[in-house]
Amino acid sequence: MVAEVYAGSQNINLKLVSEGHAVVYTQFLSSCPDTDDALLAAEAQAQQQRLNFWNQPNPVMPWDYRRSNREG
């Protein structure tokens, strides 16, 4: 299940992505037409600033990690 999560008026998804604690699943962006551009921009900025997840030398995307664990 994919959802946009809010605490009051604050978009928690956007907060997590902008801080580098989450990545954007682009295959689900069509479900978020009001925030898709903001999410992508926040991810690009977090990646550029090497925040949290993006601070790793070779970050493994969550979907790749799960796929590799299912196969092996």
- Extents of the domains making up the chain: 6-71
Q: DSSP for 3-30, please give it.
A: ---EETTEEHHHHHHHTTSS---GGGGG
pLDDT confidence band for 2 (50 / 70 / 90):
confident
30-61 confidence digits (pLDDT tens): 888 889 999 999 999 999 999 999 999 999 99
Q: Is the dihedral of CA 21, 27, 28, 34 positive or negative?
A: positive
Q: pTM for the complete prediction?
A: 0.87
CB of 54 closer than 8 Å to CB of 60: no
pLDDT confidence band for 72 (50 / 70 / 90):
low
Instruction: Report the phi/psi class of residue 42: left, alpha or beta, with left for phi > 0 and alpha for psi in -120 to 50.
Output: alpha
The C-alpha torsion from 32 through 35 and 38 to 43, rounded to 10°, is -40
